[in-house]
Structure 1
Amino acid sequence: MVAQITEGVKVSVETTYQPEYSNPANEHYMFAYKIQIENLTDYSVQLLRRHWTIFDSNGTKREVEGEGVVGLQPIITPGQHHEYVSGCNLKTDMGTMKGTYQMKRLVDGEIFDVSIPQFALIAPFKLN
């Protein structure tokens, strides 16, 4: 697991390879990732947008951007967290992802970015 704190918001990431949804013969490798966003501040924050940069080990780079996460723009109160699971497909058996969440402090409307730490997506057979 990797984690990073930005502006009092902690983002933790765990990944798992999904062999049942992968097809290596067709260069299709599926990974799931679980994100926990924890509010360590004294004020409520809302996640507005996400921006991902995804790298395959063959040098391909993709960017994904959009509102919220898995259809939600959660409000996270002080001391609470929001968790979700999503997925990413790669054309290679390993790669990385990193990104940012655009957040809003509800007390004053201040918009700020929270870093999503870079994490590896590696098929287990690659480690042998």
Structure 2
Amino acid sequence: MVTAITEGIKVSVEATYQKEFSNPGQHHHVFTYKVTIENHSAFTIQLLKRKWEIFDAAASLKIVEGDGVVGQQPVLEPGSCHAYMSGCNLKSGMGKMRGKYTMEKLLDGKLVTVVIPEFQLIATIFDN
């Protein structure tokens, strides 16, 4: 798990290789990741947008942008958290992701860019 804190907003990410949904012979590797966003600040925030940079060892950089996360634009009161699961596909078994959220402080409308820490996507094709 990796973690970053921006202006009191803590973002933690944990990635998992999904061997049962992957087909390495067809250059198809499936990864899921769980993101937990914790509001340790003194203000209420809303997640408005996301931007991901996805690096695949077998392909070029892919940028994914959009409103919210998995169809939601959660509001986080001070001391609360929001967690969600998502995923991505890579052609190779190795890559990494990083990104940022655009959040709004609801009290004054100020926009805050919150770092999503870089995390590795590494296929684990053997059972432990």
- Give 1:60 shift: 1.6
Q: In the aligned structure 1, how far is the partner of 2:108 from the partner of 2:99?
A: 25
Corresponding pairs, count:
127
Q: In the aligned structure 1, how far is the partner of 2:21 from the partner of 2:92?
A: 14
Instruction: Give the secondary-structure state (helix, strand or coil) at the position aligned to 1:41.
Output: coil
Q: Which runs of 5+ in 2 are unaligned?
A: none
**Structure 1 stretch displaced more, 55-64 or 32-41:** 55-64
Match of residue 92 from structure 1 = 92
Match of residue 103 from structure 2 = 103
Does structure 1 retain, via aligned residues, the 8 Å contact 2:17–2:30?
yes
- Give 1:59 shift: 4.8
Does structure 1 retain, via aligned residues, the 8 Å contact 2:31–2:121?
yes
Instruction: Give the secondary-structure state (helix, strand or coil) at the position aligned to 2:20.
Output: helix
Match of residue 82 from structure 2 = 82
Q: In the aligned structure 1, how far is the partner of 2:116 from the partner of 2:106?
A: 21
Amino acid at match of 2:18: Q
Does structure 1 retain, via aligned residues, the 8 Å contact 2:19–2:125?
no
Q: In the aligned structure 1, how far is the partner of 2:34 from the partner of 2:20?
A: 18
Percent identity, aligned pairs only, is 54
Q: Which runs of 5+ in 1 are unaligned?
A: none
Deviant stretches of 4+, over 6 Å: none
- Give 1:19 shift: 1.1
**Structure 1 stretch displaced more, 54-63 or 76-85:** 54-63
**Structure 1 stretch displaced more, 75-84 or 18-27:** 18-27
Q: In the aligned structure 1, how far is the partner of 2:77 from the partner of 2:53?
A: 28
- Give 1:123 shift: 0.8
Q: In the aligned structure 2, how far is the partner of 1:59 from the partner of 1:32?
A: 19
Instruction: Give the secondary-structure state (helix, strand or coil) at the position aligned to 1:10.
Output: strand
Q: Does 1:47 align with 2:55?
A: no
Does structure 1 retain, via aligned residues, the 8 Å contact 2:51–2:99?
yes
TM-score normalized with structure 1 length = 0.96
Amino acid at match of 2:95: G
Aligned residue runs from structure 1 range 1-128, under 5 A: 1-125=1-125
Instruction: Give the secondary-structure state (helix, strand or coil) at the position aligned to 1:20.
Output: helix
